[in-house]
Structure 1
Amino acid sequence: MASQSYDFIVVGSGPAGCAVAASLAKSAKGPKVLLLEAGTRNDDKTFRVSGKRWITFMEPNLNWGYKTTPQEHCNGREIDYCRGKCLGGSSAINFGVYTVGARDDYDRWAAEVGDSTFNWKNMQSRFKALETFSGEIARPEHQRYGAPQTTDHGDKGALGIGYAAEWESDLPLILDAFEQAGLPRNLDHNSGNPIGMSLMINSVRDGVRTTAADLVKSAPDNLVFMASSPVQRVIIEGNKAVGVESNGKQYLASKEVILSAGSLDTPKILMHSGIGPVAELTKFKIPIIHDLPAIGQGLKDHPFTTLLVTRNPETNDRNAFFQNPEAMSAAMKQWEADGSGPWSRHGCQLGSGWFKSERIAASEEFKELPAAVQDFLNLETIPHYEIVSGFPLHMQAPQMFQDYSYICLAVLLMNPQSTGEVRLQSSNPDDPLLFDPHFLEHPYDRRACIETYRHLLELTEHPAFAKDTLATVIGPASKSDEDILQFWRDNLGSSWHMTGTVKMGKEGNKDAAVDNAFRVFGVENLRVADMSIVPVLTNNHTQATAYVTGATCTDVLIKEYSLDQ
């Protein structure tokens, strides 16, 4: 087999992988970096339309199309577990939400691994370096909904994020109604404290979706990108990683191999390289390089479900647009010209907020949690759940709709206590793992889902909201515990926030697979930088955490190899 040699090899071109590869290549010493991606280059700009970012995941060439194993507590359903398969990774197919989470998430991460590198102060500085934030709100009457502080945001990074320039007319109505119903307002959910109802910050700039590809598009020539190059295994000599194998070709790394293939695929590469739980490897006759029981364990994810009500058509103008193919076609031409128009307005600015629940905190299920978990959930910035308003469900399920005057609300469970796993299903490294998140397995999760959905129902019953509601289309049969839980079992989805399957921790911890320098225990020159190592499922939509994880790993590597000199 012919081989090619580089200083660093990065596997996976999602947010973390692109952050690592681009920053290494741009460092002062200019090391030779190879970035390998299993999918395509994805150069089609039409996949970056802001208003269509809710359906990009339906492009089969851009999505691995994974599903979970049948979920015992969800009526045996196999649940979509989408992952991006292109340059940009899942940032190219997600819903364009850019949220950083709670400052207490990162302080807990730092405490768990014993390293201030991961505390909020240091992580926030990296978030700011990654972004160029546009916090402008064009209409004066809307400025009361958002007031981000410049000290909490960056203005020189490659990731363009911010608010949409134009909003649908019913967004202020909903934000006002929820405030009258008792929800506190938050003028910037990316300040480190997400508690309260906010304007969602989007990974969109001037009507165009921002993806991890934006980090590498201006990279120097010492960064080599290869598409259609899935990695089957790491090449290990003795106990040292020296390269990777992809499609029968070998690529060698003189310094480090960094795996950034995500929580579902990084553990697969490790296990097929002989690194993982010895029982799993033995079952499929994979030669054992290092017994590391934590690989594949610790899977966490945010489950969600929805509530949909039809609304007074006079509160919005969606029918005039979505019932008119000619209007949609003309809007596409306008977007292609300058990124403006209806495709930068409809479905482009949502409301979202994170909340605590006194009912959850008072429940027996909460009181039975370990004291340390209760203490964490009681911290100032740590929410129990998230509400998102304005989800354009008709784009994903057009057969359901003829009238587009509706509001779809989503509720996401934060800090779930159910813990899943990923495991081998064969000895073929091209076969996906088996993904079992164990949704709703833990009693706390079931109680929290019941109480959060009941609160959502109460919000929509408040007169300020209910005055424009015509009917409930998607919702439980009643507000009873039994009916709400049954609704979750029938309708729960994954937020695709998979985390923790190659968990970072202190050496000797049974649940840890990498150390605080991202090094895989027991193997030299092999690191992991993606959501699989994050020891805390952050209270956000996790693409931002993936970016900052890659940026943090790069800081560690640049310092260790003196690449900035």
Structure 2
Amino acid sequence: MTSTYDFIVVGGGPSGCAIASTLAKSPKKPTILLLEAGGKNDNHNFRVDGQRWTTFFNQEMNWGYKTTPQEHCGNREIDLPGGRGLGGGSAVNFAGYSVGCRDDYDEWARIVGDDDFRWERMQTRFKNLESFNGEPPSGIDKKYAAPKATDHGTSGPLKVGYAKECVEDLTEMLDCFEQAGFPLNSDHNSGNPIGMSVAISSCQNGVRSTAADLITPAPDNLTVIVNSLVQRVIIENKKAIGVESNGKKYFASKKVILCAGALNSPRILMHSGIGPASQLTEYKIPITHANEAVGQNMRDHLCVPIVHSRKEPGSSSASFYGSTQAMDAAMEQWKKDGTGPWAIHGSQAGIGFFKMANIAETKEFQDLPAEEQRFILLDTVPHYEVVTHFPAHWFDPTLPTLNYHGIVTWYFNAQSRGEITLQSSDPDVPLKFDSKFLTAPFDRRVAIESLRAVLRFTEHESYAKNTVAMLSGPKSDSDEDIMEHWSQKVISSLHMTGTARMGKPGDSNVVVDNNFRVIGIEGLCVADLSAVPVLPSAHVQAAAYVTGITCAEKLVKEFGLE
């Protein structure tokens, strides 16, 4: 079976769907083939807003990858969840929708020497992508959520916003943070995320929105084929002309675009003979183009929860989660109209992005390269994140009570660089993932200080007055005990980036140029989070979408599809 299209897009996650949709809608209507390794993911019951925390447990929708044993994480193999099937990560993530800070994108533009990546242009793409419901949850004052219309779009295919209702203590929790000295921010998606906000998510009216919504219904010039794992790119005379998938060949007259994600796009590159020469030689893969950067530079956001039992009566979430009958009845109501308890519990959280006042005084910061120091101190760049109302019982069923409150802490600007490498000549075998979590001294310092800041928040009278006991957290606020908690409870956030890094031709550690073109190979692009040269200070699905849109816009110009 052979077929020829103008463009072949590999991967149906946020980047791939954004590219396929944008190209297909361009005025000259090129023919597009979108190949997705997983299934359709079209069971509407996996779109429940309040169950966003557990969707990734579905093995058919998750690649189920793990790291190699991590030295600074108790030598444990850490889960690296990844979305499989249409929607990709957007179908299985926790649905946090944060665009990051304007300085992230200006830094991206600086690194690659291309103003197309500056914040002003990226924000326009975000606005065109989203259909934003800016109405805060019922009972939430404009003090806590007051997004400006000029910072958002209302007619895009991706539905984002706030829940219609939220648990009773959301405002109380935001007040606790403010009273403890954490400033409020009425919109974390304005380009400046600093402060405590009502979280925006990729859900609306009780229903998760995924990347599949960008291609549903598919236009006539877009062909979508699922259950089609791509093994390699077909390359002749240093030019990509198609792909192989499960014994079938598909050909592209213009471009092949890899959007398989930071853990899978390098697999396809390597099995196409593009990658580190020593690895290709070891596994007897003919070298098409040697590039030592393929699979290097992997960065991720790590997070860790702390959990406290709370005085009765607490949130009604405890009684809801404690009743199978209540949850089943709520599911039936949700199936009817997307309303009810499953559109409330687990559907709305507080989110905060903060700086550390003394970060520049630490030895670990002072040991960083000057450019890294400069970036970390820019106005809108946060150093850590917190999320409230984490449903910890789904991750730790040993909790002795459901009347608890969970807070998750992320640290940002990771300096650790992991690598993913071949471990088989079989292209269906995953790569080996050594994330090297917490290996950089700066990462450990920020992990310690960020969690220490959250511990101090929980000791503030505004929060502590309703606390009974700590159920999960460090034994003390010493460096050693905080790091021990990180090592035992650390969670990867599905935010892997950088494994086919973008940069200027001639720079070290670069796989693609500023137009997403694989250096050394004609007709081949990589346009997903693996290409992104910064680790956005955000929940990176938004960055994945805008990566795809940016690539598609460049292709429209390159081939005169306007």
For the aligned pair, the TM-score class normalised by the smaller chain equals over 0.9
What does residue 398 of structure 2 align with? 400
| Cross-structure match for 2:167 | 168
Q: Which of the residues 472, 475, 480 maps onto 2:473?
A: 475
Aligned match of 1:31: 30
Distance 1:141 1:430, change over 3 A: closer
- Equivalent residues of 1:359, 1:451 under 8 A apart: no
Once the two structures are superposed, what CA deviation does each residue of 1:284-340 show, in whole Å capped at 9, x if it has no partner?
110000011111111000111111001123231123212222221221111111111
Cα distance in structure 1, aligned partners of 2:74 and 2:540: 27
Q: Within 5 Å, which residues of 2 pair with 1:53-452?
A: 53-397=52-396, 399-401=397-399, 403-452=401-450
Aligned residue number for residue 18 of structure 2: 19
What is the identity, as a one-letter code, of the residue corresponding to 2:550? T
CA distance in 1, matches of 2:318, 2:240: 57
What SS does the aligned partner of 2:281 have?
helix
Q: Could you tell me which residue of structure 1 aligns to residue 555 of structure 2?
A: 557
Conserved in 1, the CA contact under 8 Å of 2:138 and 2:164? no
Using structure 2 for the length normalisation, give the TM-score.
Answer: 0.99
C-alpha distance in structure 1 between counterparts of 2:225 and 2:71, whole Å: 40
Contact 2:502/2:533 (CA < 8 Å) preserved in 1? yes
- Displacement after TM superposition at 1:400 (Å): 2.0
Contact kept? 2:262, 2:529, Cα under 8 Å: yes
Distance 2:242 2:140 in 1: 57
Pair 1:505 & 2:503 matched: yes
Alignment partner of 1:40 is 2:35: no
Task: Kindly indicate whether the alpha-carbon contact (under 8 Å) linking 1:360 and 1:447 is maintained by their aligned counterparts in 2.
Answer: no
Superposed displacement of residue 261, structure 1: 0.1
Partner Cα separation in structure 2 for residue 402 and residue 457 of structure 1: 21
Aligned residue for 1:144, secondary structure, equals coil
**Alpha-carbon distance between aligned partners in 2 of 1:553 and 1:422, rounded to the nearest angstrom:** 24
Letter in structure 2 aligned against 1:279:
S
Residue in structure 2 matched with residue 52 of structure 1 by the alignment:
51
Question: Using the alignment, how far apart are the partners of 2:23 and 2:312 within structure 1?
Answer: 52
3-state SS, counterpart of residue 313 of structure 1: coil
Please tell me whether the aligned partners of residues 10 and 257 of structure 2 are also in contact (alpha carbons under 8 angstroms): yes
Residue 15 (structure 1) shift: 0.1
Quote the offset at 1:139 in angstroms: 3.4
Report deviation, 1:419. 0.7
Q: Aligned-pair distance for 1:511?
A: 0.9
Q: Does structure 1 retain, via aligned residues, the 8 Å contact 2:137–2:163? A: no
Task: Give yes or no for contact 1:26–1:219 (8 Å, CA) kept in 2.
Answer: no
- Contact 1:36/1:227 (<8 A) preserved: yes
- Per the alignment, in what secondary structure is the counterpart of residue 431 of structure 1? coil
Of the structure 1 ranges 366-375 and 151-160, higher mean CA displacement relative to structure 2 is found in 366-375
User: Equivalents in 1 of 2:335, 2:360: separation in Å?
Assistant: 49
Q: In structure 1, what is the Cα distance between the partners aligned to 2:50 and 2:183?
A: 28
Quote how far apart the aligned CAs of 1:87 are: 0.6
Distance in 2 separating the partners of 1:368 and 1:232? 42
Q: 1:453 aligns with which of 451, 454, 478?
A: 451
Deviation at 1:478, TM superposition (A): 0.8
Q: In the superposition, relative to structure 1, how do residues 405 and 421 fare at CA in structure 2: closer, same or farther (>3 Å)?
A: same
C-alpha RMSD of matched pairs (Å) = 1.0
Once the two structures are superposed, residues 148-196 of structure 1 have per-residue CA deviations (whole angstroms, 9 ceiling, x without a partner) of 0000000110000000000101111111011100001110000000100
Q: Distance in 2 between matches of 1:45 and 1:200?
A: 23
Structure 1 position 277, deviation (Å): 1.0
| Aligned-partner Cα distance in 1 for 2:111–2:105 | 10
Distance 1:93 1:305 in 2: 19
TM-score (normalizing by structure 1): 0.98
Matches of 1:222 and 1:154, distance apart in 2: 26
Partner of 1:495: 493
Cα deviation for residue 402 of structure 1 reads: 5.4
Q: Secondary structure at the match of 1:394?
A: helix
Unaligned runs of 5+ in 2: none
C-alpha distance in 1 between matches for 2:296 and 2:318: 47
Counterpart residue type for residue 528 of structure 1: V
Q: Is the 8 A contact 2:174 2:350 kept in 1?
A: yes
Query: How many Å apart are 1:534 and its aligned residue?
Result: 0.2
Amino acid at match of 1:272: H
What's the CA shift for 1:218?
2.5
Deviations 1:436-484 (A, max 9, x none): 1111101111111111111111000000000011100001111111111
* Aligned-pair identity (%): 55
**Aligned amino acid, residue 533 of structure 2:** P
Cα deviation for residue 138 of structure 1 reads 4.7
Q: Is the 8 A contact 2:293 2:499 kept in 1?
A: yes
The amino acid that maps onto 1:370 is P
In structure 1, C-alpha distance between the alignment counterparts of 2:81 and 2:153, rounded to whole Å: 30
Distance 1:353 1:468 in 2: 21
Please give the alpha-carbon distance, in whole angstroms, between the structure 2 residues aligned to 1:524 and 1:125: 30
Deviations 1:193-243 (A, max 9, x none): 010011110100110001000000023111000010000000001110000
Q: In the alignment, what sits opposite 2:512? A: 514
Alignment check: 8 A CA contact 2:137 2:162 kept: no
1:346-393 superposed Cα distances (whole Å, 9 cap, x missing partner): 010000111101233321111111111111111000011001111112
- After superposition, what is the alpha-carbon deviation per residue over 1:383-410, rounded to whole angstroms, capped at 9, x for unaligned? 110011111122333x324532111111
2:524 paired residue number: 526
In 2, the alpha carbon distance for the partners of 1:561 and 1:173 equals 54
- Which one-letter code corresponds to 1:334 in the other structure? Q
Given candidates 524, 529, 544, the residue that maps to 1:546 is 544
What letter is aligned with 1:498? M
Partner Cα distance (2:317, 2:352) in 1? 24
Separation (CA, whole Å) in 2 of partners of 1:321 and 1:72: 39
Q: Aligned with 2:80: secondary structure? A: coil
Q: Which runs of 5+ in 1 are unaligned?
A: none
